[in-house]
């Protein structure tokens, strides 16, 4: 791969946001280099590429960094237009996918992190909330499957 087309993904194996970008790259057949980041000891590259949020994932394409997984997914889909498309062609369906993606990011993932970070009654409550939010997601996504 020429330097002008080099794709590097800075991420972490256990990060859902990194996995989402990694999956999109693989789905599109885009060769890339994966740089495993240590979030307790952030690399100078990560801090340089994402000086605002200082977090993963960061996609570097042609030497230019793109941050935030959902933004990266749109960039991938717009840059590599080969099949399969990540988003539907229909604007309404595209909006629905974006809505549910936002729901997963803002509601489901946040609640899942509570499960990991708490214990006892707080953890049990968070587990119940995860199942409730998954039911909402399943109901809302039926039309796509």
Evaluate the CA torsion angle 28, 134, 101, 93 in order and state its sign.
positive
pLDDT at 4: 66
CATH number of 3-79: 3.40.30.10
> Is the pLDDT higher at 16 or at 22?
22
What distances in angstroms separate CA 108 from CA 17, 21, 126, 131, 137, one per listed residue?
Answer: 13, 18, 10, 9, 9
Predicted TM-score (pTM) of the model is 0.82
| DSSP-derived pairing of the beta strands 58-61 and 64-67 | antiparallel
The span from the CA of 133 to the CA of 128, in Å, is 9
Per residue in 29-56, is it b (16+ CB within 10 Å) or e — as a string? ebebebbebeeeeeeeebeebbeeeebb
The span from the CA of 145 to the CA of 128, in Å, is 25
What is the residue extent of each domain of the chain? Answer: 3-79, 91-144
pLDDT in tens, 81-122: 987 999 988 999 999 989 999 999 889 988 998 999 999 999
Backbone angles phi, psi at 78, to 5 degrees: -80, -30
């Amino acid at each position: 791969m020429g330097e002008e087309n080099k794709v590097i993904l800075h991420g972490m194996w256990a990060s859902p946001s990194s996995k989402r970008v990694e999956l999109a790259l693989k789905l599109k057949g885009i060769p890339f280099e994966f740089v495993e980041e240590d979030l307790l000891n952030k690399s100078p590259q990560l801090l340089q590429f994402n000086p605002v949020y200082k977090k993963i994932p960061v996609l570097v394409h042609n030497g230019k960094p793109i941050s935030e997984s959902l933004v990266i997914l749109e960039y991938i889909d717009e840059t590599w237009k080969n099949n399969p498309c990540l988003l539907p062609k229909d604007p309404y369906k595209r909006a629905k996918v974006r809505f549910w993606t936002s729901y997963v990011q803002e509601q489901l993932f946040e609640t899942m992190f509570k499960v990991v970070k708490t214990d006892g009654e707080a953890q049990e409550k968070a587990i119940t909330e995860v199942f409730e939010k998954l039911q909402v997601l399943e109901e809302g996504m039926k039309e796509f499957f």
